[in-house]
Amino acid sequence: MPITDYLERNRKLYGDEVALIELNPEMKDTRRVTWKEYSLIEQTSDKPFRREITWAVFDEKANRVANMLLSRGVKKGDKVAILMMNCLEWLPIYMGILKTGALAVPFNFRYSADEILYCAKLAEVDVLLFGPEFIGRIEAIEEKLARQRLLIFVGESCPTFAESYWELVGNSSSEAPLIRVEDSDDAAIYFSSGTTGFPKAILHKHLSLMTAATVEQKHHSTGRDDCFLCIPPLYHTGAKMHWMGSLVAGSRAVLLKGTKPEYVFDAVSREHCTIVWLLVPWAQDILDALDRGDIRLSDYDLSGWRLMHIGAQPVPPSLIKRWKQYFPAHQYDTNYGLSESIGPGCVHLGVENIHKVGAIGVPGFGWKCKIIDQDGNEVKRGEAGELCVKGSGVMECYYNNPEATAEVLKDGWLLTGDVAQQDEDGFYFLVDRLKDVIVSGGENLYPVQIEDFIRQNEKVRDVAVIGLPDKRLGEIAGAIISIKEGMTCTEEEIDEFCKGLPRYKRPRKIIFDDVPRNATGKIEKPELRKRYSVERLVEKENEA
Query: Nearest Cα to 436, choosing from 136, 211, 196?
Result: 196
The span from the CA of 177 to the CA of 310, in Å, is 37
Domain boundary among 401, 433, 465: 433
Number of domains, the chain? 3
Question: CA nearest 155: which of 220, 216, 83?
Answer: 83
Report if residue 316 sits inside a domain: yes
Spell out where 385-503 has E strands: 385-390, 397-398, 409-410, 413-422, 428-433, 438-440, 443-445, 460-470, 474-483
> Hey, how many other C-beta atoms are within 10 angstroms of the C-beta on 359?
26
| Residue 301, domain member (yes or no) | no
CB atoms within 10 A of CB 522: 17
Q: Has residue 280 been placed in a domain?
A: no
Please check whether residue 137 is in contact with residue 116, taking contact to mean a CB–CB distance below 8 angstroms: yes
Quick one: 130 and 242 in the same domain?
yes
Q: What separation in angstroms does the CA of 233 have from each of 18, 166, 248?
A: 21, 23, 20
Q: Are 193 and 240 in contact (CB under 8 A)?
A: no
Q: What would the 3-class secondary structure string for 102-140 be?
A: CEEEECCCCCCHHHHHHHHHHCCCCEEEECHHHHHHHHH
Q: Is residue 35 part of a domain?
A: yes
User: What is the rounded CA–CA span in Å between residue 367 and residue 432?
Assistant: 21
What is the number of other CB atoms lying within 10 angstroms of the CB of residue 293? 7
Task: State phi, psi for 444 to the nearest 5 degrees.
Answer: -85, 120
Residue 396 shares a structural domain with residue 454? no
Can you give the CATH number for the domain in which 341 is found? 2.30.38.10
- Packing angle, helices 55-71 and 90-99, rounded to 10: 60
Q: What is the pLDDT of residue 196?
A: 45
Choose one of 433, 451, 473: the last residue of a domain. Answer: 433
Q: Quote the pLDDT of residue 217.
A: 94
What CATH number is attached to the domain comprising 45? Answer: 3.40.50.12780
The answer as to whether 281 is a domain residue is: no
Residues 410 and 493 both lie in one domain: no
Q: How far out from the chain centre does Cα 439 lie?
A: 30
Q: Are residues 425 and 447 in the same domain?
A: no
- Asked if 26 and 133 sit in the same domain, the reply is yes
Main-chain phi, psi angles of 539, to 5 degrees: -60, -45
Name residues whose C-beta falls within 8 Å of residue 204's C-beta, 6 or more positions apart in sequence: 186, 187, 188, 189, 190, 342, 393, 395, 396
Residues in the chain: 544
112 shares its domain with 239: yes
Same domain, residue pair 323 and 214: no
What does the alpha-carbon distance between residue 3 and residue 208 come to, in Å, rounded to a whole number?
10
> Looking at the structure, do residues 238 and 335 belong to the same domain, yes or no?
no
Residue 453 and residue 369 in one domain: no
Domain end (from 258, 290, 317)? 258
Based on the fold, state whether residues 459 and 317 are members of the same structural domain: no
CB contact at 8 A, 341 and 391:
yes
CA 441 to chain centre: 36
C-beta of residue 323 within 8 angstroms of C-beta of residue 331 = no
For residue 287, tell me if it sits in a domain: no
Q: What is the pLDDT of residue 237?
A: 86
Say whether both 52 and 178 belong to one domain.
Answer: yes
pLDDT in tens, the chain (544 residues): 899 999 999 999 999 999 999 999 987 544 445 555 555 555 555 577 899 999 999 999 999 999 999 999 999 999 999 999 999 999 999 999 999 999 999 998 888 898 899 999 999 999 999 999 999 999 999 988 877 789 999 999 999 999 999 999 999 999 999 999 999 999 999 998 654 457 899 999 999 999 999 999 999 999 999 999 999 899 988 889 999 999 999 999 999 999 999 999 999 999 999 999 998 878 988 999 999 999 999 999 999 999 999 876 667 788 888 999 999 999 999 888 889 998 778 999 999 998 898 889 999 999 999 999 989 999 999 998 999 999 999 999 999 999 999 999 999 999 998 889 999 999 999 876 667 778 776 567 878 888 888 988 989 999 999 888 876 677 889 999 999 988 999 999 999 999 988 787 899 999 999 888 876 667 888 788 878 865 455 455 555 5
Residue 49 and residue 14 in contact, taking contact as beta carbons nearer than 8 Å:
no
Are 142 and 203 within one domain?
yes
User: How many C-beta neighbours within 10 Å does residue 415 have?
Assistant: 17
Q: What pTM value is reported for the model?
A: 0.82
Q: The domain spanning residue 534 has which CATH number?
A: 3.30.300.30
Find the domain containing 329 and state its range: 306-433
Confirm whether 51 is domain-assigned: yes
Is 286 among the domain residues?
no
Spatial separation of the C-alpha atoms in residues 37 and 57, rounded to whole Å:
10
- Determine which helix (DSSP H) or strand (DSSP E) holds 255, and give its type and residue range: strand 252-256
DSSP state of 182: -
Q: Are 120 and 25 in contact (CB under 8 A)?
A: no
